[in-house]
Amino acid sequence: MAYSEKVIDHYENPRNVGKMDAEDPDVGTGMVGAPACGDVMRLQIKVNDAGIIEDAKFKTYGCGSAIASSSLATEWMKGKTLDEAETIKNTQLAEELALPPVKIHCSVLAEDAIKAAVRDYKQKKGLI
Amino acid sequence: MGTPCHFALFELQPSFDLDLDQLATRYRELARGVHPDRFADASEREQRLALEQSASLNEAYQTLKSPPKRARYLLALNGGELPLEVTVHDPEFLLQQMELREELEDLQDSADLNGVAVFKRRLKAAQDELNQSFAACWNDAAQRERAERLMRRMQFLDKLTYEVRQLEERLDD
């Protein structure tokens, strides 16, 4: 499988790898998995009082495309409001990374992780 | 879903519990019967038929011998095909998966072959437990959701088994 340069860049220099305290009331955690390829993705956001995502971290066990998708997702989420972050679509991630059709599901997984993290945060704050 | 069903090819009733040794023996017998070499002098139609039979037999065998594939196939027989690519939200299980992957990374860094052996035993025990739970609930329509979740978990553990094998090969070099 030939990876695009952007995928390789994110794979070799993943942005924002790490872990936040899932118990922190200002942290939202999204944990998702793709059973067929065994990928596991954790995406976390820290939201400030103004409702802005001030930090995002991820950890992904999976192929290069899954790692790149989640790495890019954390980059894009930083500085956004929750509502803005929720509008990030897998197609945008896939396009930016030039993912081939067989790897589109990796970007879907990243989008689902974003949504799960935002939902977790909102639930903690009693917003939904 | 192709007809006849994978189980029928082996003259078996759909079931999750299978004797894999018996299945392998039966597969070899059946495969011999449709081997292309036996049809070298046969008509073109017979040759094509034998080739098709050989392919379906192989597909059936590959599906039945793998617990997650067999599980997915049984659920498909019972209530429609389940997509291969889905996102699962199974937080506790996924957290556990992540921890196991981290452990495996540490084993790689320390090149700990004994540790890998212990890891494999734990993984096998987890798979056995999962298989038993699935066997007990897949055929109960009321527990369909649970059976699907267990099948997805099997897929993760199957992939983890593959990762362990890869690691063993790397450490062997």
Is A63 marked active-site?
no
Q: Which of A72, A85, A106, A118 is catalytic?
A: A106
pLDDT of residue A100: 93
- Give percent of chain B with pLDDT exceeding 70: 98
Regarding an ipTM greater than 0.90, the answer is no
Chain A residues inside the 8 Å CB shell of B160: 38
User: What separation, in Å, do the N-terminal and C-terminal C-alpha atoms of chain A show?
Assistant: 42
Query: Which domains does chain B carry?
Result: 4-64 (1.10.287.110), 89-170 (1.20.1280.20)
Give the nearest partner residue to A36 out of B84, B89, B95, using CB atoms.
Answer: B84
pLDDT of residue B80: 84
CB neighbour list of residue B4: distance below 8 Å, 6 or more residues apart = none
CA distance B9 to chain A (A): 26
- Angle, CA of A40, A79 and A55, to the nearest 5°: 45
Q: Which of A37, A40, A52, A104 is catalytic?
A: A37
Domain spans of chain A, in order of start: 3-116
Query: Per-residue pLDDT for chain A (128 aa), expressed as one digit of tens each?
Result: 578 999 999 999 999 999 999 999 999 999 999 998 899 999 999 999 999 999 999 999 999 999 999 999 999 999 999 999 999 999 999 999 999 999 999 999 999 999 999 999 999 999 98
What is the helix (H) or strand (E) element at residue B63, kind and residue range? helix B44-65
Q: Counting beta carbons within 10 angstroms of the beta carbon of residue B115, is it exposed (0 to 12), middle (13 to 18) or buried (19 or more)?
A: middle
CA distance A16 to chain B (A): 17
> Is A33 in Cβ contact with B159 (below 8 Å)?
no
pLDDT of residue A1: 59
> Is A42 in Cβ contact with B97 (below 8 Å)?
no
- For residue B105, the chain A residue with the least C-alpha distance is A61
CA distance A2 to chain B (A): 21
pLDDT (average), residues B139-154: 96
Is A106 marked active-site?
yes
pLDDT of residue B39: 84
- Both structure tokens of B131: 């298989």
CATH fold of the domain at A3-116: Sufe protein. Chain: A (3.90.1010)
Please say whether the beta carbons of A34 and B95 come within 8 A.
Answer: no
